[in-house]
Amino acid sequence: MPEAVVFDLDGVLLDSEQRWNEAKESVARESGGGWREDAAETMMGMSSPEWSAWMRDALGVPLSAAAINDAVVERMAAGYAAGLPLLPGAIGAVRGLAERWPLGLASSSNREIIDAFLEIAELGDAFAVTLSSEQVGRGKPAPDVYLEAARLLGADPANCVAVEDSGNGLRAAAAAGMAVIAVPNPHYPPPADALELAAATVATPGELTPELVESVAAQRP
């Protein structure tokens, strides 16, 4: 039996990756910086200190990293306040799994965006631990955020099941030693080598059942 289940947020519970990239692109262009075709995938999984510094240095955005971060977060917060882009079955999946196991949330989103999601979705009581990669040393694909989530949950990472959508997220969870369920992001599909790290794949979070989690955990050596 798994000790805990750890969710990613963007692309797993929220259809939000494109919103992040639209916000970043608008901040870059409106401030006089540039944009690159590979910018979205390059920044996917980065923590906020990492992507804001990358936008400053690689895209020539003429603002401090802190100012870039604040401008992007302001746009995201306003969008969430207008309506969360919940993926099908997200709320039910979280509630259903929370009845069986302690849940963690290990996200690349900023702390304030995670808190806004929890409040608007009324899921604050469902997660025992919520963590932003800006609170650890490195963003995904490094395993830091998953390892810290497991530590805070008091669980062995090898006995945790993670739910991820992106290539860097799948790599991060697997590098932490967790069994992984993939919910591939249709906007930014994970590469085949990353998807192979998942023990199971579902199309929507609504397919995340306790039976599936137990099955994936049982496949561990």
pLDDT at 102: 98
Query: Does residue 33 contact residue 55 with C-beta atoms inside 8 Å?
Result: yes
Of residues 82, 77, 60, 56, the one with CA closest to residue 68:
56
Query: Does residue 61 contact residue 31 with C-beta atoms inside 8 Å?
Result: yes
Whole-angstrom distance, CA of residue 20 vs CA of residue 187: 12
Give 10's strand partners: 14
pLDDT tens digits along 67-104:
999 999 999 999 999 999 999 999 999 999 999 999 99
Q: Identify each DSSP E strand in 83-146 by its residue range.
A: 103-107, 129-132
pLDDT at 125: 96
pLDDT at 214: 96
Asked if residue 187 has pLDDT above 90, the reply is no
Enumerate residues 6+ apart whose C-beta is below 8 A from 209: 96
In this structure, are 169 and 144 located in the same domain?
yes
Positions annotated as catalytic residues are: 8, 10
Of residues 159, 160, 155, 209, the one with CA closest to residue 183:
209
In this structure, are 98 and 155 located in the same domain?
yes
**Residue appearing with tokens 């955005």:** 61
Whole-angstrom distance, CA of residue 61 vs CA of residue 29: 8
Residue 135's CATH number: 3.40.50.1000
pLDDT at 220: 76
- Domain coverage including residue 74: 17-82
**Residue appearing with tokens 């009324």:** 122
pLDDT at 36: 94
In this structure, are 56 and 46 located in the same domain?
yes
In this structure, are 8 and 22 located in the same domain?
no
In this structure, are 117 and 206 located in the same domain?
yes
Residue 34: which region, alpha, beta or left (left: phi > 0; alpha: psi -120 to 50)?
beta
pLDDT tens digits along 141-169:
999 999 999 999 999 999 999 999 999 99
In this structure, are 135 and 63 located in the same domain?
no
pLDDT tens digits along 106-141:
999 999 999 999 999 999 999 999 999 999 989 999
In this structure, are 213 and 106 located in the same domain?
yes
* pTM for the full predicted model: 0.91
Q: What is the overall mean pLDDT for the chain?
A: 95
What is the side-by-side order of every strand in the sheet holding 4-7? 129-132, 103-107, 4-7, 160-164, 179-182, 200-201
